[in-house]
Amino acid sequence: MDRRHFIKQSTLISIGGLLIPSTLLAACRKETLFEDVTYDGKVIIIGAGAAGLYAAYILKSKGIDFQLLEASSTYGGRLGKLTGFANFPIDTGAQWLHGKNSILGDLIKKSKTNITLDDSETKFWFNNQLVNSLPQETDIFEGDDLPDISFEDYALQSGLGNEYKYIVENIAGDQGAAASRLSVFGNNKDEEHWSAGDDDFKFEETFFDLIDTQIANQVKDYILLNTVVSKIDYSQSTILITDSNNNTFNADKVIITVPIPILKSADIQFTPALPDEKTAAFAKIGMDAGMKVFLKFSNKFFDQNIIGGSVCAAYADDSIGKAQNDNILLAFIMGEQAEYLTSLGSDAAITNALIQELDIMYNGQASASFIASHVENWTTNPYIKGAYSYSTIGMGDARKIASQALSEKLYFAGEAMNTNGHHQTVHGAVETGYREVINILTDIKK
């Protein structure tokens, strides 16, 4: 599955053994990171997802005192691993490596992690039948002078009728959004900065394993789990952090890596209140519902990729790239489709809706060979609340404003805070953790 369509290549530079896009390094003032730095203060990182873990990894390498506070009972954020369901491990969260020109690409090479190019074939559910190709081209969402309207509206204006509705829903869903909400202009501008590469790769083990073995294992002892941060008081020289159990933590600098819905919903109270400009920027960054459902069958009746279902716009053979080959079909569900399935209220109801759709596509073979399902609904996770960020209509420079540090005390990281086109990705989250450590070290040296 080729997830990226608007690729721009750029030069990469190796600093301290890490491959970093040159554009990112320029923005991060790279000359400061690997100089000797003496700092007696403490950094607290809120959120032990990819961004928080990598920020911790770099802080540890610099000998700086830090601690990670994680709301859930495990680390990894929107990464997760399921074992025992199939005869291969499953990524319940982020799954594809989108290009190898990144920090994580370098870690994969150094660790000799096994990955496989995903060049699987696609069939389309179109006009109530499975077809190998579509009558009209659908690569209309790239180019110059595109309007700031939704994918849905632009598709209709461009002559893709209602029969293309769920094909377009898949294209938008690939970006984590409903087609009615994703901006053609904003998404295209984001993609112009993409520099990671245009191929998608699958892990023989899992994406979670890479982050766990290469990054998290170095900082596990610094993570405090089940710690839900509710207040951050940065009004004094020492920052006071309070959790939901009224425990307090002191820090000199704080890196906030929580998903954008947590910031948008004001689950964390700030003193003083965040500037209106920043909260308005948070509000403009989209993040829709998202879930993954793994369906296990006794035989492989399905194609490698099926695009265009009205219940699920994207199905994929999950055994691709794995050493074993149990018959696992992934339903990758975003936006309004994920909202609908969530509203059904139970995993059984969600599974049944998907099986019924597959039965229509494959003449009853789904229900005849169905064994079990696993539903991973990131929408209902109270510390995630969705899939990944996207550009809404009228978003403008919201990411830039949202990611700016405050008072040399609060620093913002995470995939939604990536301003170089790599939001929505694990490597994009990692880049922001790296960036904010550089910003902290730069501020220390002032």
- Each residue's pLDDT tens digit, 155-193: 999 999 999 999 999 999 999 999 999 999 999 998 888
Q: Is the pLDDT of residue 379 over 60?
A: yes
Instruction: Give domain status of residue 188, yes or no.
Output: no
Note whether residue 34 is domain-resident. Answer: yes
Residue 433 lies in a domain: yes
Rounded to whole angstroms, the Cα distance separating 347 from 200 reads: 29
Residue 295 and residue 317: Cα distance in Å, rounded?
Answer: 10
Pairing of strands 410-412, 253-256: parallel
Q: How many domains does the chain have?
A: 1
Cα first-last separation, the chain:
46
* Dihedral sign computed on CA atoms, order 381, 384, 387, 390: positive
**What b/e readout covers 4-26, taking b as 16+ CB neighbours within 10 angstroms?**
bebbeebebeeeeebbbbebbbe
This prediction has a pTM of: 0.92
Distance CA 131, CA 346 (A): 32
DSSP one-letter code for 222: G
DSSP letter at 277 equals H
Mean pLDDT of the region 336-360:
98
Mean pLDDT of 51-64: 95
Tokens read off for 115:
């990955």
Instruction: Average the pLDDT over 35-52 and give the result.
Output: 90
Cis peptide preceding 135, ω within 30 of 0: no
Helix (H, G, I), strand (E, B) or coil at 45: strand
Other beta carbons within 10 angstroms of residue 32's beta carbon come to 17
Q: By CB neighbour count within 10 A (0-12 exposed, 13-18 middle, 19+ buried), where does 382 fall?
A: exposed
Residue with tokens 């700086």: 64
Phi and psi dihedrals of 26, rounded to 5?
-60, -40
Cβ–Cβ under 8 Å, residues 2 and 199: yes
Within-domain flag for 56:
yes
Answer whether residue 43 is part of any domain: yes
Q: What is the CATH number of the domain that holds 398?
A: 3.50.50.60
H or E element in which residue 140 lies: none
Record the tokens describing residue 322, joined without a space. 């794995």
**What whole-number distance in Å separates Cα of residue 311 and Cα of residue 120?**
22
Tell me the two tokens of residue 262: 């947590």
Mean pLDDT of the 228-245 span = 98
Q: Is residue 397 part of a domain?
A: yes
Tell me the pLDDT band of 200, cut-offs 50, 70 and 90.
Answer: very high
Angle between helical axes of 165-174 and 335-343 (0-180°, round to 10): 100
What are the backbone dihedrals phi and psi of residue 151, each rounded to the nearest 5 degrees, phi first? Answer: -55, -40
Is residue 25's pLDDT more than 60? no
Residue 143 lies in a domain: no
Q: Which helix (H) or strand (E) holds 233?
A: strand 229-233
Tens digit of each residue's pLDDT (9 = 90 or more) over 350-373: 999 999 999 999 999 999 999 999
Average pLDDT, the chain: 92
Say yes or no to pLDDT of 15 above 70.
no
Instruction: Provide the phi-psi class of 84: left if phi over 0, else alpha when psi is between -120 and 50, else beta.
Output: left
- The pLDDT, as a whole number, for residue 35 is 64
Within a domain: 217: yes
Q: CA-CA distance, 285 to 174, in Å (whole number)?
A: 16
Q: Amino acid letter at 282?
A: F
Q: CA 15, CA 249: separation in Å to the nearest integer?
A: 33
Q: How many CB atoms lie within 10 A of CB 187?
A: 22
Residues 6+ apart with CB under 8 A from 193: 8, 23, 420, 421, 422
Residue 35: give the domain boundaries.
23-77+207-286+393-444
Does residue 299 come out as left (phi exceeding 0), alpha (psi in the -120 to 50 range) or beta? Answer: beta
> Which of 61-65, 329-333, 397-401 is predicted least confidently?
61-65
Per-residue confidence (pLDDT) for residue 263, from 0 to 100? 97
Q: Region of 33 please: left (phi>0), alpha (psi -120 to 50) or beta.
A: alpha
Coil, strand or helix at 320:
coil
Six-digit token string for 407: 């008072």
Distance from C-alpha of 155 to C-alpha of 164, rounded to nearest angstrom? 8
How does pLDDT run across 209-224, given as a tens digit for each residue? 999 999 999 999 999 9
